[in-house]
Amino acid sequence: MRINSQIRAKEVRLIDHDGTQVGVVGIEEALNLSKERGLDLVEVSPNVSPPVCKIMDYGKYLYKQKKKLQESKKKQRNIQVKEVKFRPRTDTHDMEYKINNMRKFILQGNRVKCSVFFRGREMLHLELGKNVIERVVAAMEDIADVDGNPKMEGRLLSVYFMPKKKK
């Protein structure tokens, strides 16, 4: 955004500080009007012919833009992906403990990746891993939605959970 003497056009479409259209004027006249009011001449729309310029307090404008940006960042929610790993022969108590941790992550609003890791000959018994995933899905269905089907990624069988949408 160009201001004051940085504006190179010979004529500009001028908008006054209160929002009223002044019309097409020469750049010198527009600069004089802005100096009389103690404000800046800011090029709002440079790509049209003639460019649109507005008389405003540029420092105040930048301050408001910065505040708007901060306000929008406050409203954004940073979603993390938490991962919980199981083995095909994970004991029931350990599984319940890990499922409770997954529930905490979901209630905090995070996505959760549930993985079953296979070692060595366990790769021959993928149905054990699928059983583990099914048990986890059954335990999580009241607070989380499954995002896609379980997928094999090398030695990992994984599935993603997302918090349920509120109605």
Residues 66 and 97 in one domain: no
Say how many domains are in the chain.
2
Shared domain check, 41 and 85: no
Cβ atoms of 11 and 30 within 8 Å: the answer is no
Top mean pLDDT of 11-15, 74-78, 99-103 is at: 99-103
**Are 61 and 88 contained in the same domain?**
no
Confidence (pLDDT) at 98: 94
10 & 66 share domain: yes
Please identify, among 33, 53, 74, the residue that sits at the C-terminal boundary of a domain: 74
Token code pair at residue 166: 């509120």
In the sheet with 21-26, reading across from the earlier edge strand, the strands are 21-26, 11-15, 52-56, 40-45
Confidence of residue 167 (pLDDT cuts 50, 70, 90): low
Quick one: pLDDT at residue 66? 93
Do residues 89 and 41 share a domain?
Answer: no
What band does 25 get if pLDDT is binned at 50, 70 and 90?
confident
Selected residue with higher pLDDT from 166 and 96: 96
Q: Do 60 and 92 reside in the same domain of the chain?
A: no
Q: State the chain's mean pLDDT as an integer.
A: 87
70 and 95: one domain? no
* CATH number of the domain within which 116 lies: 3.30.110.10
Q: What residue numbers bound the domain in which 153 lies?
A: 81-163
- In sequence order, what DSSP letters do the residues of 69-127 get, joined into one string? HHHHHHH-----EEEEEE-TT--HHHHHHHHHHHHHHHHTT-EEEEEEE--GGGGG-HH
The residue among 74, 93, 126 that closes a domain is 74
- With bands split at pLDDT 50, 70 and 90, how would you rate the model's confidence at 24? confident
Same domain, residue pair 43 and 102: no
Within 10 A of 102 (CB to CB), how many other CB atoms are there?
23
Q: Are residues 102 and 58 in the same domain?
A: no
Compute the distance between CA of residue 17 and CA of residue 108 in angstroms, rounded to an integer: 46
Residue 38 belongs to domain with CATH number: 3.10.20.80
* Final residue in a domain of this structure, among 22, 55, 74: 74
Q: Is residue 99 located within the same domain as residue 36?
A: no
For tokens 């003497």, the residue is 5
Confirm if 70 and 100 have CB atoms less than 8 A apart: no
Q: Which of 74, 20, 9 has the alpha carbon at shortest distance from 43?
A: 9
Indicate whether 111 and 152 sit together in one domain: yes
Task: Report pLDDT digits (tens) over 97-141.
Answer: 999 999 999 998 889 999 999 998 888 888 999 999 999 999 988
Rounded average pLDDT over 26-54: 85
% of the chain beyond a pLDDT of 90: 32
